[in-house]
Chains A and B, each alone.
Chain A
Amino acid sequence: MDISLIVVQAFNALFYASILFLISSGLSLIYGIMRILNLSHGALYMVGAYVTYTVVILWLGLDWFSMILGYLASILVVGGLGILVERILLKPLYGKSHDLQLLLTFALILILDDVVKMIWGPEYRAFPKLPGFSIPVGDFQVPIYFIFTVLLGFSVAIVLHLFFTRTTVGKMIRAMTYSPEVASALGINTDRLFALSFGLGAALAGLAGGVAVPLYTASPGMGTEVIVLSFAVIVIGGMGSIKGALLGSLIVGFSRVFMVMLFPVMEIALIYIIMALILLVKPTGLFGMEMRERR
């Protein structure tokens, strides 16, 4: 096989993995701290995509500066939305059955999908082209936007890592992930951390949407497929682990892109087969620890 094709596909896979990482790290964070499986995480990603689209295409015009503003807008809007959802909708459900939380986040998908349809209409919203130029690799082109996204993804991974290992708030959050009882015994204000975590997780989903929209286009319901892939990512990597989300994203990204090339029939199926195999060998995922459900 042509080596330049492999290089291009590798960038493709890295791009895809970066976006998956941004989504699933937030999902994993929320699960790790709050033990809530946020089904609406894909819908938050969708809102992020529409916000960046609006800022860049409808308001400012396509250039790098407006892209950055678009990302910031997505982070703020979706992060704020996340905090509102946590404070107003989820808080009354703490201490009740997990199923109710799951249902509520599903209701949010239905609501957000239609709200997006009301505001932006049902049609697909596409970027005319990617921001920036492309680098030729053999007979193919690698858009600079791919490289930018990959760098962004890795920077976020590093920032998250530093946040959780170096800052007080980050350490508190990790303490909660390990043992909520100990954390509250230490006098950590779990209430505020819950809001913060959900907001942060949502903001990451919003950023993912903003980063993805130039390539994948925005449409109502765009979150419903990606959410399931993110589940696969965090199950493979281990729920609640940022490292796991990174490795899981890379596994899913690469296996998907190269399966499309080699054996298209098994494209998505392979991801779930990998997931099943990993769970057979290591039920908590690659970097997962034993986590007790919170009652």
Chain B
Amino acid sequence: MSGAEEVLVAEDLHKWFGKLHAVDGVSFRLRRGEVLSIVGPNGAGKTTLLNLISGVVKPDAGRVFLRRSGELVDITGRPPHEVTRLGLGRSFQIPNIFDGLTVEENILISLLTRTGRTGVVRRGYRDFPELEEELSEIIETFGLGEVRGRLGSELSHGMRKKLDIAVSFALRPMVLLLDEPTSGLTQGEKRDMVGLIKGLRGGEYSFIIVEHDLDVVREVSDSLIVMHEGRVLAHDEPEKVLQMSEVISAYLGGYHEAIR
């Protein structure tokens, strides 16, 4: 892991909301194939950090770099659609899908944008055999086969969650940000989701996962960041971080209680 090249670098990111210093000097490096988890209590700045990286919110200071054909490119402050095209995908805490479109169409949009076909009018969107093949593969991988023809609005929460990640995964992003992928899922669905993430990881994809469930974190991550009041409290291998006495006593103990 430590030998692999860096695919994403965050340098001293800051964001204020009025007087609230939501993200306060966060820096880290993500290597190819790495799964980095971020934990911390509500309001620690985790989602804001994801927003800064994905371009939804502009940082007040600091830079974000993404590897693009061998070089680290500055993507700070670029609009979300450009960041996406440069190879960064994300899913959302509250599943964020296209309600008026079918499951297949939801995923197709990602396949079309990734292959640069969004402006095409000479062919119907179901007239690309190579995309149809990939579409079926993704639907298979994410266990969405039974609902492939249903509208987004007709899905259960668990299915929406899966579809949300499938839509981002279909972009084949170099880095995939997942915001609380297991929140609101039943135990069974949680197991499926962990299996899914473990299945996707390794090889070329890297992940940043914001997650509350420490069991999930232990199981899937290569490294772990603990955030508190906008700052990085610790950043190391998951077991080391979770055993650090200061983290446990000062913070994780109470946090652990709080999320039960």
- Chains A and B directly touch (beta carbon < 8 Å): no
Binding site for B on A (CB under 8 A): none
Which B residues have a C-beta under 8 Å from some C-beta of A?
A: none
